[in-house]
Structure 1
Amino acid sequence: MQRGVIIQLLILLLVIVNKSNGISSPIKPFTTYKHSAELQTNVADLWWIVDDAEREIIFEFHVKTTGWIALGISPAGGMRGADIGVGWVDLAGIVHFQDRHAFGMSPPVIDNTTTDWFPLQGREQNGWTSIQFKRLLDTCDSMDVPIKSGTNIVIFAYGLVDPDLSRSDGDISYHDTRRGTRMIPLRSYGNPPSEEKFAGLDSFEFCALNYRVPSEESTYYCKVYKAPTQFLTKRHAIAHQVLVDSTNRDLVHHLVVYECDPAATFDDANLPDDVCDNVYAHVHMCMSNSAIVWAVGGDD
């Protein structure tokens, strides 16, 4: 018998994943983005792409309103200290955009240091407002919040009417309950080394091939793999990469690789491979020592 490794997948049906992680906006984005997120169902959608060479990030924000919209980076999840971009499209189709800073629960003020949020284009269509804009990842502005590697706290809000800058009381209206907060990995968690760094090293794969997803809202799938036996001396695993076929990317929610207890034994010719509930009696000794964890939104 050979010591084994178990891999556990939570697989969601495509229709369920699309419903929970889909995009509501009827407006086509101005360009192709690497990332997107539905901030609020049928209300607010966000696309973005990071240009590491230029050290900047490009956002496209769609909100179901014909009033002002705002997207901010918050240091702690609330308005206090947040760096906020506020924009709207007027009746003539002209995009207005402002760099603002929030000191507390009062309306965010115009950033009086440097302007670091820049509008690119925008439009109103079918009751939605969409604006594309950019800013540097780190502006070195005391009134801004750096966008760092890893998870960032994004806040958003919107109003029902455009500001009227010709009036003394024409600032953005109070958003009331039209606001939200999300924790999103806007940037990669790190700069992974190039594949050349691992050239010449031994590697092996654990593959889940041709698994037919059941017609259930969610499925936990378990499969036990036999660890490699060709190594004559002790080896250390120093890196891993998660590969999910692009056609299945919307199905896989998370993945966990466990190391089985040394006391666990299996028939090498008939390793468990089924819905986890069906094989739990055989694999329960392999579900406590996790070696790799990956989930939607994480790097490969």
Structure 2
Amino acid sequence: MKTYTALCIILSALIVQKTIATTSPLTPYTSYQFSIELEHNIADLWWTVDENRQEITFELHIKTTGWIALGISPAFRHFVLLRIIAGGMKGADIGLGWIDSTGQVHFQDRYAHDFARPVIDNTTTDWSAIKGREQNGWTAIQFKRFLDTCDSMDVPIKSGTNILIYAYDLEDPDMSQTGGMIKYHENRRGSRIIPLQSYGNPSPEKKFVDLDYFEFKLQNYVVPANDTTYHCKVYKAPTNFPQRRHAIAHKTMIDSNNRDIVHHLLMYECDPTAVFDDNNLPNGLCDDINEQIIACSSNIATGWAVGGEDIVDLPEITGYPVGGDFEIKYYMVQMHYDNPKLMPNRRDSSGIRFYLGKELRQYDLGYLSLTAFATPVAIAIPPKVDRFIIDTYCPAVITKSFPQSGITVVGAFPHTHLQGQSVWTKIIRNKKAVEYLFNAEAYDFNYQFENILPKPIKLYPGDELATRCVYRTTNKNEISL
């Protein structure tokens, strides 16, 4: 097992935010950093994070003339199955609103003690409406709350992954009863898991249909009937591009028949000095071919895991180089299959595709990995521990080759294996911790994302980087490596 914090690096201080397609016929009240279609032609959400005020503003549109609700749900880890039970009512912090017959917006701060009707939070009111309207059969409400309200009946919106739940009804609450009686929403509900503070805003695939692309895919690989399988395969970089090109987006292609067993995909850059027989590239169980793939096991270029977005756009001023004189000539793709039912004869053709822009962008994008290798002197986690910390340090000698003007970090892909609970990296400058490079305070192995930083961060020659990974092994009876 390896633990990584992979960082997208470009020589620029600019990042472009964009809005993806939504289906609401109503125009949002303002422009936002992020948006997502929660449910096609039913529910859309926009939001902006104000770091200075530590506040988040939402705008929720749902196709109904009754009440609508958005909640932040805690995660409950089921240790027998090693799964996150996400999007549940119990413990959820909920904002619920509606528009009455006079056009006035109403909004309530509610809390779900259990799998039952959420009660009004009488401790403090932390969700507050800004404005709202009902039009063309849709309800739209703009509202806000602090990221951390310090209220025991609220769920903090932490950096890293967040669990959103939403629901709606066809009627407004019955205001003849105290606080307003809300009817059970039945199946008018849903959930999404996304990093609210660092969402990547993926574009629809139709944006890339007329672009060249290359892909690395398995071909009918027979997945072993084992609980867990790690398969590794080395691919040669495309050779049909004599001039350098820029990949501007990539799509993870999970075989539609195997969504239930493909857990994650990681793509590594092989060392530029690596030499392989192109007619017999390493391909097999990762442990079995470990010695053959050592040169391809250090630097993660990108990845996907359950819950993540299939399409990832790169910032509009940068592209990942390929072809021509680019030094990386081989890549390795690691596939993790999770097959607890030990199903035999499952064949998989999953992989990853890169879309190439028609013109070179202003800057090349590269990747830096901060890692601890899984050896007894690096990662050896005892069982039955609630919080086990592993620290790694990148000294100044590593960054001394950075340009004097610095390099700019725009995104991060944190990755640990099952027991990981949080991952962060701090910048140490002149022997002082100056800021987080990235902080996945609420890390979830089952929902891994390429995170766009709220603002680009500069690294300079002589900077040092301290990375901490926190693990929990209360469900384990043996040491974890």
Distance 2:35 2:109 in 1: 23
Which has the larger strand fraction? 2
In structure 1, the residue matched to 2:143 is 133
How far apart are 1:40 and its partner, in Å? 1.0
**Structure 1 residue 178 and structure 2 residue 188: aligned?**
yes
**Structure 1 residue 81 and structure 2 residue 91: aligned?**
yes
In structure 1, the residue matched to 2:57 is 58
Measured at CA, do residues 33 and 223 of structure 1 come closer, stay the same or move farther in structure 2, by a change above 3 Å? farther
**Structure 1 residue 187 and structure 2 residue 185: aligned?**
no
Distance 1:66 1:219 in 2: 47
Measured at CA, do residues 146 and 281 of structure 1 come closer, stay the same or move farther in structure 2, by a change above 3 Å? same
Question: For residues 257-276 of structure 1, what are the alpha-carbon distances to aligned partners after superposition, in whole Å with 9 as ceiling and x for unaligned?
Answer: 5215965259xxxxxxxxxx
Distance 1:61 1:220 in 2: 37
Q: Which residue among 197, 211, 214 is the counterpart of 1:213?
A: 211
CA contact (8 A) 1:84 1:99 kept: yes
Contiguous gaps of at least 5 residues in structure 1: 1-20, 190-209, 227-243, 267-278
Question: For residues 217-274 of structure 1, what are the alpha-carbon distances to aligned partners after superposition, in whole Å with 9 as ceiling and x for unaligned?
Answer: x962687399xxxxxxxxxxxxxxxxx99xx6xx5436945215965259xxxxxxxx
In structure 2, the residue matched to 1:30 is 29
In structure 2, the residue matched to 1:253 is 251
Q: Which residue among 264, 272, 295 is the counterpart of 2:275?
A: 264
One-letter code of the match for 1:24?
T
User: Where do 1:106-185 residues align within 5 Å?
Assistant: 106-167=116-177, 170-185=180-195
Distance 1:283 1:28 in 2: 52
In structure 2, the residue matched to 1:7 is none
CA contact (8 A) 2:120 2:179 kept: no
How far apart are 1:130 and its partner, in Å? 0.6
Distance 1:283 1:65 in 2: 55
How far apart are 1:75 and its partner, in Å? 0.6
Distance 1:298 1:258 in 2: 17
One-letter code of the match for 1:224?
A
CA contact (8 A) 2:268 2:300 kept: yes
CA contact (8 A) 1:69 1:158 kept: yes
One-letter code of the match for 1:26?
P
One-letter code of the match for 1:253?
K
In structure 1, the residue matched to 2:237 is 224
Q: Percent identity?
A: 53
In structure 2, the residue matched to 1:205 is none
Distance 1:46 1:34 in 2: 11
Q: Secondary structure at the match of 1:150?
A: coil
How far apart are 1:106 and its partner, in Å? 1.2
User: Where do 1:82-97 residues align within 5 Å?
Assistant: 82-97=92-107
Distance 2:271 2:54 in 1: 43
In structure 2, the residue matched to 1:103 is 113
Which has the larger helix fraction? 1
CA contact (8 A) 2:70 2:165 kept: yes
CA contact (8 A) 1:259 1:291 kept: no
Distance 1:94 1:223 in 2: 62
Question: For residues 78-118 of structure 1, what are the alpha-carbon distances to aligned partners after superposition, in whole Å with 9 as ceiling and x for unaligned?
Answer: 11111000000112111000000000111100001000001
Question: For residues 39-96 of structure 1, what are the alpha-carbon distances to aligned partners after superposition, in whole Å with 9 as ceiling and x for unaligned?
Answer: 1111111111100000000001010111000000001231111100000011211100
**Structure 1 residue 39 and structure 2 residue 42: aligned?**
no
**TM-score w.r.t. structure 1 length?**
0.65
How far apart are 1:288 and its partner, in Å? 5.8
Distance 1:60 1:153 in 2: 17
Distance 1:138 1:168 in 2: 28
Question: For residues 109-155 of structure 1, what are the alpha-carbon distances to aligned partners after superposition, in whole Å with 9 as ceiling and x for unaligned?
Answer: 00010000010011111111110000000000000000000100001
Tell me whether 73-82 or 132-141 shows the greater mean CA deviation. 73-82
Moved over 6 A (4+): 279-287
One-letter code of the match for 1:292?
A
CA contact (8 A) 1:56 1:134 kept: yes
One-letter code of the match for 1:298?
E
Distance 1:185 1:280 in 2: 42
Distance 2:165 2:302 in 1: 27
Q: Secondary structure at the match of 2:49?
A: strand
One-letter code of the match for 1:259?
C
Q: Secondary structure at the match of 1:114?
A: coil
Contiguous gaps of at least 5 residues in structure 2: 1-19, 76-86, 200-207, 217-234, 240-245, 253-265, 284-291, 305-311, 313-448, 453-481
In structure 2, the residue matched to 1:14 is none
Q: Which has the higher contact order (CA 8 A, sep 6+)?
A: 1
Measured at CA, do residues 156 and 224 of structure 1 come closer, stay the same or move farther in structure 2, by a change above 3 Å? same
**Cα RMSD after superposing both structures:** 3.4
Measured at CA, do residues 281 and 134 of structure 1 come closer, stay the same or move farther in structure 2, by a change above 3 Å? farther
